[in-house]
Amino acid sequence: MDKEQCIKDYNKKIKRIIISEEEIKEAIKQAGEKISASYDGRPILLVSILKGSFVFLADICRAISVPCEIGFMCAKSYYEGTVSSGIVRITMDLDRDISKYHVIIIEDIVDTGRTLNDIVKLLKSRNPLSLKVVTLLDKPDRRLVDFKADMALFTIPDFFVIGYGLDCAENYRNLPYIAEYDTEVD
Ligand code: IMP
């Protein structure tokens, strides 16, 4: 679909809000408190997996009350429409040695689990002091590899979702809530 058609259909594709701004805010506050309590006094590196996690990262880092550093990696999962093709490529890597950090990967959603499975293997091979995964959303029904996040703020059914950093063809990342994307409407 071309860009102009996408903009025309923008609102009718937002089927319904499934997680509100308030619910996201509250869950992040609690996650931030837990992380701050368990990592206090240790060097933390939050690794945001772009692009989808940029909004979550911005909010969760401000809910953490102990010192932490931030790093970015870009992983691209190739989609055919709203279905994962299973191909994951690291297109931008971290800019530092992680062996002196307790690494916390910050992800938007675990779907098939392939992206994080690959990223965790890669980062573990670089010998961080420890490595945990925090995801905003988890879609366990869609899992194709054996992967479990250490912390998932919300578990959702098998919907294609948009908003709060998550996109469909690069649109909708700026919605302040998580919504179901309507794959039926044309
Ligand atoms: P996985 O490798 O299948 O677990 O997928 C990981 C990536 O696919 C996520 O980081 C998202 O960027 C994207 N993704 C998976 N499910 C959705 C969805 O429902 N909406 C938008 N993006 C998604």
Threshold 0.85, pTM exceeds? yes
> Mean pLDDT, consecutive 10-residue segments, the chain of 186 residues?
78 94 98 97 97 97 97 80 69 95 98 92 95 98 95 97 96 97 80
Ligand 1 atom at shortest distance from the alpha carbon of 159: 19
Count Cβ neighbours within 10 Å for each residue of 136-147 and write b for 16 or more, e otherwise. Answer: bbbbbebbeeeb
- What crossing angle do the helices spanning 54-63 and 21-39 adopt, rounded to 10°? 60
Q: Active site includes 111?
A: yes
Tens of pLDDT, residues 175-185: 999 999 998 86
Ligand 1 contacts CB of residue 108 (under 6 A)? yes
Helix (H), strand (E) at residue 60: helix 54-63
Which pLDDT score, from 0 to 100, does residue 78 have? 65
Which residue in the list 111, 118, 150, 182 is annotated as catalytic?
Answer: 111
Which pLDDT score, from 0 to 100, does residue 79 have? 61
CA distance 72 to 46: 8
Which pLDDT score, from 0 to 100, does residue 183 have? 86
**Of the candidates 172, 179, 168, which has an alpha carbon nearest to the alpha carbon of residue 1?**
168
Contact 60, 36 (CB under 8 A): no
CA distance 173 to 180: 13
Apex CA 127: angle with CA 123 and CA 131, to 5°? Answer: 60
Ligand 1 contacts CB of residue 84 (under 6 A)? yes
Ligand 1 atom at shortest distance from the alpha carbon of 51: 12
Strand partners, 46: 70, 104
CA distance 129 to 145: 25
Strand partners, 166: 163
- Amino acid identity at 20: S
Tokens of 160: 């294609």
Contact 95, 70 (CB under 8 A): no
CATH of span 18-177 = 3.40.50.2020
Furthest-apart CA atoms within the chain: distance in Å: 53
Residue 145 φ then ψ, to 5°: -125, 160
Apex CA 84: angle with CA 9 and CA 2, to 5°? Answer: 30
Tens of pLDDT, residues 146-166: 999 999 999 999 999 999 999
